[in-house]
Amino acid sequence: MKEKTLRAEQTRNNIIPIHLDATFFFERAVRSLDRNHYDKALKYFRKAVEYEPENAVNHCNLAGVLSEMGDFEGSNRVLKSILDDVDPTMTECYFYMANNFANMEQFEAAEEALITYLEEDPYGQFLDEAEEMMELLRFELHRPTKVSKIKAREGMVEHDRARALLEEGKFAQAVELLEEILEEHPDFLAARNNLALAYYYMGFFDEAKDEIVKVLDEEPGNLHALCNLTILYQHEGNRKAVDELLSTLRPVVPFHQEHVFKLATTMGILGEHEAAYGHFCRLLKDDEVNFDPCLFHYAAVAAWNTGRYNNARRHWIQADKLDPESGIARFYLSQYDSWADGTLQPQPISYHYHLPFEEQFKLWQKNGGTIPESVKADPLVRSSFFWALRHGNYDTKLQVIEALGQVGDYEVQQALRAFLVEPDEEESLKDVALFVLRHLGVKGPLPLKQGGSTTFVNPEIVTSELPEWNNDWQRVVSTAFKQMKSRYDVMQQYDLENLWVEYLTKVYPDVPVIFHVEGWAAALEYLTAKMHRHPLTYQEVAERYGISVSTVSKYARQIDQVCGIKDKIKAIFPSNTGNI
């Protein structure tokens, strides 16, 4: 008997207690939904509501399952109780109720709920769907739906334009427009969320966080804001804040595709790849969105990062079928092949739908250093440029500045202007940025922060330590650039300018009088070509500048004697004979 008692006690000690709370039942409900066991999901969501009756999300999930099961009346009772007793600000419940009434063919009631949604909801999550429902109701009721105002449409025309600018990668212009919208409509939370996103894409994390906090002050449960804030905390390395927000995001199962996509990408960026993969797989089952190559790429990345390598391969094959021109899926399929044959160890992959930054530069180098027009217009690539400009290492920033010089539009100019006044950036990088701005034809004066103080510089004048900058010296540089424009990249032109400044600085004040601008310009191009191993002869460069071979060689020897170009070439390329 004593032995039996001991065994019973040991058995009790080995039992792991189950902690029954709302999260426990929520997770069971989600698992049941994934398996299409709606009856079990309904039971578990009801238990979650019992444990957390004040949590409106639990009630919404319950209403959603009831609607899926065809119990539209029961779903509406739950939705009405949310508005009456739990959270009256959840105006999207009116839209869900309108859907349920329409499914019951109670079109008058559906119209009333839909009008209430449009007139009271400030966020406009379901505006497109609401417009489709108005068409249905007009057909069924034989009259148009009378809506006195659409609250979420206040400033919507401008907001749609701002969103288009974001999608085009024109972040600075989007910021300007969104700031104007928010001056007139400070409670326009969708615009504020997009302003935060634009700041984020440009690398201005502090400004992005300020806007997100303002959104959450107005609407603590705003999913977009919660996702964006969590990502920003991760960049800051604030693990405690990330974990707190993750505990809020993990139980969320959004109804709307846009919200599912947002949550999925957020969880992936945060390293919650298992959750991300579950959300992406939900989206792939939807025929309305599963034609998007980005979605298949994201699902592939989540699969890869959770060790589902064969699933990742399958998703990338589909992405490649949908978007063969980009070569993105093909690159990652080659990574898979290298892993499969043992030549490459699997590494975590980023969720961005573009080639890794280093791979992009390799391709451009193979393409003669020229960035394709399609790449220049890609908002994700542009975002990666701006991101790397603010958060990359020295070499990456140098490459980015060079690449931005090829893009050269308003967004680039604004980003480089902002770079000039960043207090912690290297002066040599700012010199290159200033050169690119001059190369793009930007007029001054421009603020430049160096050594703790701000000065104003004219980008049209070459930067140097010389006490003056002579117009004839500038003409030499301008003449060279005019000839080099289509043959040399920005950094090579920058090297030419630096060589000219170095020569003038070393001979100053005994600077020769510039009688032959073309001769000096041709000599600088020739020496720059040699430094970069471009196959250029005296004869070729002389013909382009309309001068004699002897003139080019004379000025090239003068510059070499002062600056030691021959020795520099031999140091960089030992096998080179060093002939100038």
Q: What is the dihedral of CA 322, 328, 331, 332, to 10 degrees?
A: -80
**How much is the pLDDT for 492?**
83
Please tell me the distance from the alpha carbon of residue 344 to that of residue 208, in angstroms, as a whole number: 38
More confident residue, 399 or 66: 66
Residue 279's nearest CA partner among 569, 34, 111 is: 34
Tokens 């974990």 correspond to 243
Other Cβ atoms closer than 10 A to 59? 24
- How many residues comprise the chain? 580
- Report which listed range, 133-147, 330-344, 448-462, is most confident: 133-147
Determine the pLDDT at residue 361: 57
Which has more confidence, 201 or 217? 217
Per cent of the chain over pLDDT 90 is 21
pLDDT band at 368 (very low <50, low <70, confident <90, very high): low
pLDDT of residue 578 exceeding 50: no
| Choice between 515 and 290, residue whose per-residue pLDDT is larger | 515
Tell me: the pLDDT tens digits for 466-483?
A: 778 888 888 998 898 888
Given a cut of 90, whether residue 360 has pLDDT beyond it is: no
**Would you say residue 379 has pLDDT above 70?**
no
Q: Average of pLDDT values for 155-167?
A: 79
Statement: residue 17 has pLDDT above 80: no
Helix axes 549-563 and 490-507, enclosed angle (nearest 10): 70
**Which residues contact residue 560 at a Cβ distance below 8 angstroms, ignoring those fewer than 6 apart?**
527, 566, 580
519 neighbors 552 (Cβ within 8 angstroms): yes
Higher pLDDT, 114 or 491: 114
CA 441/CA 255 separation, integer angstroms: 50
- pLDDT value of position 467: 78
Q: Is the pLDDT of residue 335 over 80?
A: no
Give residue 327's pLDDT band: very low, low, confident or very high (50, 70, 90): confident
pLDDT at 363: 55
* Amino acid at site 469: W
- Does the pLDDT of residue 369 top 70, yes or no? no
Instruction: Of 381, 429, 361, 424, give the one whose Cα is nearest residue 401.
Output: 429
Of 256-270, 318-332, 516-530, where does mean pLDDT reach its minimum? 318-332
* pLDDT above 60 for 367: no
> Which domains does the chain show, CATH number per domain?
22-147 (1.25.40.10), 165-340 (1.25.40.10), 376-456 (1.25.10), 472-572 (1.10.472.10)
For 225-257, the pLDDT digits (tens) are: 999 899 888 888 889 999 999 998 988 888 778
Question: Does 150 or 306 have the greater pLDDT score?
Answer: 306
Q: Give the Cα separation of 314 and 300 in Å (integer).
A: 8
For the chain, what percent of residues have pLDDT higher than 70?
84
Q: Give the DSSP H/E element, type plus range, for residue 446.
A: strand 446-450
284: left (phi over 0), alpha (psi -120 to 50) or beta: alpha
Cα separation, 80 vs 86, in Å, equals: 10
